[in-house]
Structure 1
């Protein structure tokens, strides 16, 4: 796969399709572009006449780990902005789910000249959703660096996975200044603390006024505590002229998938995403 150095780290990407407007598809968590459920949605969008850019964000897949910015999403937005400029894509359509929705929102706010339409689903918010993210993605790393330093950080399962995918990542982690890295982790953690005037982590509500492109929001399911229905409706209220639709998957799809994985079943949280292709294509055709 092609890769390019962006802001001091290599980013791997690929473009599916031969013609049509370009959609940047961004998954959630620290999952790679090859995580199950992502490519089927991309292929569905390609079948609808679009090209799709898949990319391993910093701290995902085989791309280099990177550590800067007010939040991890702001770091990824900075990298995506430079990636699109480097590839000379012109304005693109951003489509993202879960953490990818947040990354796409921040990119649209920070780089409005690069975005022509925006599609969001599984938007994280609420007390449980934000606390779970902070405790899962930041707290173990924060405790490791504070107690034992960067060697302990590199030994954590989360970072070991990225080191196995890209051995250079071990040195990139070990080369971080311990005090500055600790400070960064505290900053990233603070973004996940629910607070008034901040519907999604790290993004003040007033910044949504800077989103002036056609926007589709697939609302969260009524039983989804990580991506609450309420959060997607609040984001809809904050983005002037946005459109919100019911999810094309069951209202409790996320919770049922979580329960199935706990039972040891082979179920992925993004498996249902391919069902979003028809409503996304419909929105793009008429917006």
Structure 2
């Protein structure tokens, strides 16, 4: 896969399609561009006449691990800016779900010159959703370094996976300064502490005033604790002129996928399997 160096780290990416406007498509969590369910959506968008850029964000897939910035999403937004600048690919359409929605919104806020349209879904918010992310993505690394030093990170399953996909990450991790790393992790953790005036983690509501491009929001499911319906509605109020639609998948799609994953049935129903159903409303929005 092609690789671009951004801020001292290699970023792996690929572009699907031969012609048409470019869509940057970003998944959630620390999942790679090859997470099941993402490529079918990308291929459906390519079939609609667009090119699609898939990328492994820092700390995802085969890209290099990196640790800096106000939050991990701020770091990813800066990385995407660097990637698109090197490729000469902007301005373009930015789209993403779950954590990828937050990364996409931040990119649009911080680098509005890069974005022509914005599409987001499964937006994380609420007390449970924010604490869940902090506990899952940040606390294990803090605890590992506090108890075992930087070498302790090599025992964290997530970083073992990054090393398996990119062996250079082992030395990148071991070369980290423990105190500096912990300061970054505490800053990233603080982004997930719910605060007045922050509808999405680590982003002041006033930042939404910077989003002035046509925006499509696919709201969260009725009982989705991780991506609350309420958060989608609040974001739609914060982005002036945005278009909010009901999810094209079942209201309980995320919960059923989480249950299947917890039961070890990852081949039966993956977290992003239903995302391909968003292709028709996305294409309709983009053609307006």
* Category of TM-score, reference length = shorter chain: over 0.9
Deviations 1:244-283 (A, max 9, x none): 0000000000001111222232221100000000000000
The 1-side partners of 2:231 and 2:204 are apart by 14
Deviations 1:169-218 (A, max 9, x none): 01101111110000000000000001100000010000000100000000
Deviation for aligned residue 1:104: 0.4
Q: Give unmatched runs, 5+ long, in structure 1.
A: none
Please say if 1:199 is aligned against 2:199.
Answer: yes
The 1-side partners of 2:257 and 2:79 are apart by 31
Q: How does 1:202-213 map to 2 (within 5 A)?
A: 202-213=202-213
For residue 21 of structure 1, what is the aligned residue in structure 2? 21
| 3-state SS of paired residue (1:18) | coil
Q: How does 1:113-124 map to 2 (within 5 A)?
A: 113-124=113-124
For residue 275 of structure 2, what is the aligned residue in structure 1? 273
TM-score calculated relative to the size of structure 1 = 0.99
Please say if 1:103 is aligned against 2:123.
Answer: no
Q: Give unmatched runs, 5+ long, in structure 2.
A: none
For residue 62 of structure 1, what is the aligned residue in structure 2? 62
The 1-side partners of 2:147 and 2:260 are apart by 35
For residue 47 of structure 1, what is the aligned residue in structure 2? 47
The 1-side partners of 2:250 and 2:47 are apart by 24
For residue 230 of structure 1, what is the aligned residue in structure 2? 230
Deviations 1:230-255 (A, max 9, x none): 00110000000000000000000000
Deviations 1:88-126 (A, max 9, x none): 012010000000000001100111100010000000000
Deviation for aligned residue 1:154: 2.0
| 3-state SS of paired residue (1:96) | strand
Deviation for aligned residue 1:153: 1.1
Q: How does 1:92-171 map to 2 (within 5 A)?
A: 92-171=92-171
The 2-side partners of 1:202 and 1:169 are apart by 27
Deviations 1:145-179 (A, max 9, x none): 11211100122101000000000001101111110
For residue 84 of structure 1, what is the aligned residue in structure 2? 84
The 2-side partners of 1:95 and 1:40 are apart by 15
Say what the alpha-carbon RMSD is for the aligned residues.
0.6
The 2-side partners of 1:190 and 1:143 are apart by 15
- Number of matched residues? 286
The 2-side partners of 1:188 and 1:171 are apart by 22
The 1-side partners of 2:144 and 2:90 are apart by 41
Q: After the TM superposition, which parts of structure 1 deviate over 6 Å for at least 4 consecutive aligned residues?
A: none
The 1-side partners of 2:90 and 2:178 are apart by 39
The 1-side partners of 2:58 and 2:155 are apart by 18
Please say if 1:33 is aligned against 2:23.
Answer: no
The 1-side partners of 2:200 and 2:47 are apart by 32
